[in-house]
C-alpha cells in the first residue's frame, strides 16, 4: 500500500453522545471541539440541527470559536419521500447552520427502504439523488453516508451499489460505507469494498460500529483496501456497543502503518484528549483502553518489571510518550515528571527537570488523585496546584466562614437556599448573604457578592456548567463526590475541581479555584 494521507472524521459530538449515560451540554461540545481541533482532526461532526435545539445552539456558538484546522460538519438525513429538498425542514436546518460541509445519510439496505421508510426502492434512490444535488448547490462539500451498506450489500448487492452510483452521479464529494449495525466481519467488509472500488471513483470513507468487537479492525482493513476517510469517536463512545475508537485507530494508522493523518506533536495529545472527553462526559476514564488507558503501559508482574527496566521494548509495543501516555510500574511508580514539565510549559512556568519542586508537584498530584481529584477537564485547578507548590500563588482572600441553609416550608413548595459568608481581603472583612435556586448556587452568589467589591472583574465570570460524580458508590449518601465546574468570562473558559464527602465542601473548593484562576489570569495580563 502506497503512503497516503488519511482524513479523520470525528463524530463524538453526535454519534458519541448517543451512548448510554452520556449527555453533553452545548459548552461541553464547544470545549471538546476545540480539543479535537488541537488533536488535528480534519472533520468534527457537531450534531443534527434538525433534531434538537441543543445542536442548533452549538452550531451558532461554534461560529465564534477559532479552529485552526478542523471543519465543522452538520449532519442530517435525506429529504422525506414526497417532500422536495427545498421544502424539507431538516434539509433547510442543515443549510442554516452555515457549515461548509454537510453529511447526510440515506438507506442502502433494501429492507430498510421497504420496511423502515415504507417506500419503494426507486423512491429511495430518488430522494438520495435529490437531496445531494440540492445540497451541492448550497454548500461546498457534501458527504453521503450509505447507512447499513454492508448489510445491504450482503442482502442485495446490486441495489446497495446502485445507491452509491446515484450518490456519485449527484456529485457527492465523499461516499462513506457504514456498518451501522456493527456486525460485519473483516473478510465480508473486504469483499464489499473491493466490489465498490470497481464502480465508484469518488473518495470513500468508513463508518463502523463495534457490536461484533470489530470496529477498529474493520476501519484499519478498510484503509488497507484504499479508503481515505475514517470516521469514529473518542474512546469509542456511541450507541449500543459504541463506534470505532479513534484513540486506537489514529495511533495504528500513524505508528503501525506509517500513514499521514495527524502530526507527531498532535499524536502526543491523544491521551489528554481521551481523558478530557471522559471527564466532560462525566464518566470514569476506561483504564484498559489501548494506547491511552492508565493500564496501557502499566506493569505489575515481577518478570515484566525486571525486563522493562532493561528495555521497555520487552513488554511495550510503542513508546507510551508518543501518544502522551507514560510507563507505570505498579507499587513503585517510576515516571510522570514529564507530564508536570509539559503542563508547566503550557502555563508559562519555567521548571527545570531536576528541580525538587517537580517531585513535590508530582507527589501532591498523586495524593490528590488518590483522594479522587481528576485534573483532566480542570486545567484551572491544576495550574493553581502548580503555582502553590512553587510559592507563586497569591492568596486573594481568606475565608472566615460560611453557612448554607436549605429551608422547605410546604409539601409542594420549592426549597429556599440561602448562603451567608464572611471573608477577609487585606485588612477588610466582608460579611454578606445571598439566595439561590440551590445551596451551591446560593454559595456561588454569596462569594461573588462578597468579593466583587474588591475585584469588580469577577462580574465577568459566569458559571457555565456544574457536574457531580459519585466516587465511592458503596458508601451511599455518605459517598465521596467530585465536583467539576466550568467557568468563563467571555474571552476564555476554564475548569476547576473539588472533592469531598460533603458536596458543599467539594463545590466550595471548585468555586474558589474558579475565582482564583480568574484573578490570576487578570494579574498575568496586567503584568
Beta bridge partners of 326: none
Q: Does some domain include residue 328?
A: no
| Residues 31 and 56 placed together within one structural domain of the fold | yes
Q: Does some domain include residue 189?
A: yes
| Residues 213 and 118 placed together within one structural domain of the fold | yes
Q: Does some domain include residue 213?
A: yes
List the chain pLDDT tens, one digit each, 527 residues: 445 789 999 999 999 999 999 999 999 999 999 999 999 999 999 999 978 888 999 999 999 999 999 999 999 999 999 899 999 999 999 999 999 999 999 999 999 999 988 999 999 999 999 999 999 999 999 999 999 999 999 999 999 999 999 999 999 999 999 999 999 999 999 999 999 999 999 999 999 999 999 999 999 999 999 999 999 999 999 999 999 999 999 999 999 999 999 999 999 999 999 999 999 999 989 989 999 998 898 876 656 666 767 788 888 899 999 999 988 765 323 335 655 665 677 677 777 766 677 778 878 877 887 788 877 678 889 888 888 888 888 889 999 999 999 998 877 778 889 999 999 999 999 999 999 988 999 999 999 999 999 999 999 998 888 989 888 766 676 778 999 999 999 888 899 999 999 989 999 999 999 999 999 888 877 76
| Residues 238 and 380 placed together within one structural domain of the fold | no
* CA 276/CA 287 separation, integer angstroms: 14
Among the listed residues 301, 508, 497, the one whose alpha carbon sits nearest the alpha carbon of residue 403: 508
Please list, residue by residue across 341-365, b when 16 or more beta carbons sit within 10 angstroms of its beta carbon and e when fewer do: bebbeeeebebeeebebbeebbeeb
| Residues 411 and 505 placed together within one structural domain of the fold | no
Cα 77 to Cα 49, 145, 146, 378: the distances in Å are: 11, 9, 11, 36
Among the listed residues 31, 451, 59, the one whose alpha carbon sits nearest the alpha carbon of residue 279: 31
| Residues 501 and 527 placed together within one structural domain of the fold | yes
CB 375 within 8 A of CB 346: no
CATH number of the domain within which 482 lies = 3.30.160.340
Residues 6+ apart with CB under 8 A from 512: 399, 447
| Residues 391 and 407 placed together within one structural domain of the fold | no
| Residues 476 and 431 placed together within one structural domain of the fold | no
Q: Of 449, 469, 490, which residue constitutes the final position of a domain? A: 449
Q: Where are the beta strands (DSSP E) in 150-258?
A: 174-179, 204-208, 229-232
Number of folded domains in the chain?
A: 3
Q: Does some domain include residue 313?
A: no
- Whole-model pTM: value is 0.71
For the residues of 328-375, what is the DSSP string, one character each? EESSS----HHHHHHHHHHTT----TT-HHHHHHHHHHHHHHHHT---
| Residues 422 and 502 placed together within one structural domain of the fold | no
| Domain ranges, residue 130 | 7-280
| Residues 97 and 219 placed together within one structural domain of the fold | yes
| Residues 372 and 404 placed together within one structural domain of the fold | no
Q: Does some domain include residue 477?
A: yes
CATH number of the domain within which 431 lies = 3.30.160
| Residues 404 and 482 placed together within one structural domain of the fold | no
Q: Phi/psi zone of residue 82: left (φ > 0), alpha (ψ -120 to 50 degrees), beta?
A: left
| Residues 424 and 504 placed together within one structural domain of the fold | no
Q: Does some domain include residue 307?
A: no
Element (H, E) at 141: strand 141-147
CB 3 within 8 A of CB 260: yes
Amino acid at each position: 500500500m502506497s503512503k497516503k494521507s488519511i482524513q479523520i472524521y470525528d463524530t463524538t459530538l453526535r454519534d458519541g453522545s448517543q451512548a448510554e449515560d452520556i449527555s453533553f451540554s452545548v459548552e461541553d461540545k464547544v470545549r471538546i471541539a476545540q480539543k479535537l481541533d488541537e488533536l488535528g482532526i480534519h472533520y468534527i461532526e457537531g450534531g443534527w440541527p434538525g433534531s434538537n435545539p441543543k445542536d442548533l445552539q452549538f452550531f451558532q456558538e461554534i461560529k465564534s470559536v477559532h479552529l485552526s484546522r478542523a471543519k465543522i460538519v452538520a449532519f442530517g438525513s435525506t429529504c422525506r419521500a414526497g417532500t422536495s429538498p427545498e421544502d424539507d425542514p431538516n434539509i433547510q436546518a442543515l443549510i442554516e447552520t452555515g457549515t461548509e460541509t454537510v453529511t447526510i445519510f440515506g438507506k442502502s439496505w433494501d429492507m430498510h427502504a421497504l420496511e423502515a421508510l415504507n417506500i419503494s426502492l426507486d423512491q429511495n434512490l430518488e430522494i438520495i439523488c435529490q437531496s445531494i444535488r440540492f445540497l451541492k448547490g448550497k454548500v461546498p462539500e457534501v458527504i453521503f453516508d450509505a447507512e447499513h451498506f454492508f448489510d445491504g450489500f450482503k442482502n442485495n448487492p446490486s441495489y446497495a451499489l446502485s445507491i452509491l452510483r446515484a450518490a456519485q452521479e449527484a456529485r457527492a464529494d465523499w461516499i462513506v460505507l457504514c456498518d451501522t449495525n456493527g456486525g460485519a466481519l473483516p473478510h465480508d467488509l473486504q469483499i464489499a469494498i473491493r466490489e465498490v472500488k470497481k464502480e465508484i471513483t469518488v473518495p470513500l470513507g468508513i463508518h463502523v460500529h463495534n457490536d461484533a468487537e470489530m470496529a477498529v479492525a474493520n476501519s484499519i482493513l478498510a484503509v488497507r483496501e484504499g479508503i481515505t476517510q475514517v470516521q469514529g469517536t473518542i474512546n469509542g463512545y456511541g450507541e449500543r456497543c459504541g463506534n470505532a475508537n479513534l484513540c486506537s485507530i489514529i495511533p495504528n494508522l500513524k505508528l503501525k502503518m506509517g500513514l499521514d493523518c495527524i502530526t507527531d506533536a498532535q499524536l502526543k495529545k491523544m491521551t489528554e484528549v481521551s481523558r478530557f472527553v471522559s471527564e466532560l462526559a462525566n464518566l470514569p476514564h476506561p483504564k484498559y483502553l489501548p494506547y491511552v488507558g492508565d493500564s496501557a503501559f502499566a506493569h505489575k508482574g515481577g518478570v515484566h518489571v525486571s525486563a522493562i527496566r532493561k528495555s521497555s521494548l520487552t513488554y511495550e509495543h510503542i513508546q507510551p510518550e508518543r501518544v502522551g501516555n507514560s510507563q507505570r510500574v505498579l507499587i513503585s511508580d517510576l515516571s510522570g515528571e514529564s507530564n508536570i514539565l509539559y503542563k508547566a510549559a503550557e502555563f508559562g512556568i519555567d521548571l527545570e527537570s531536576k528541580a525538587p519542586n517537580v517531585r513535590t508537584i508530582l507527589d501532591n498530584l498523586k495524593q490528590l488523585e488518590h483522594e479522587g481529584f481528576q485534573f483532566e477537564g480542570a486545567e484551572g485547578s491544576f495550574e493553581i496546584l502548580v503555582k502553590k507548590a512553587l510559592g507563586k500563588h497569591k492568596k486573594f482572600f481568606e475565608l472566615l466562614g460560611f453557612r448554607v441553609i436549605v429551608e422547605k416550608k410546604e409539601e409542594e413548595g420549592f426549597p429556599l437556599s440561602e448562603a451567608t459568608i464572611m471573608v477577609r481581603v487585606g485588612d477588610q472583612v466582608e460579611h454578606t448573604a445571598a439566595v439561590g435556586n440551590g445551596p451551591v448556587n446560593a454559595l456561588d452568589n454569596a462569594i461573588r457578592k462578597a468579593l466583587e467589591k474588591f475585584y469588580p472583574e469577577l462580574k465577568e465570570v459566569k458559571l457555565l456548567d456544574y457536574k457531580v460524580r459519585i466516587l465511592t458508590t458503596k458508601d451511599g449518601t455518605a459517598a465521596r463526590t467530585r465536583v467539576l465546574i466550568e467557568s468563563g468570562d467571555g474571552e476564555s473558559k476554564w475548569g476547576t475541581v473539588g472533592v469531598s464527602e460533603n458536596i458543599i465542601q467539594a463545590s466550595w473548593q471548585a468555586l474558589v479555584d474558579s475565582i482564583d484562576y480568574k484573578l490570576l489570569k487578570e494579574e498575568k495580563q496586567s503584568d
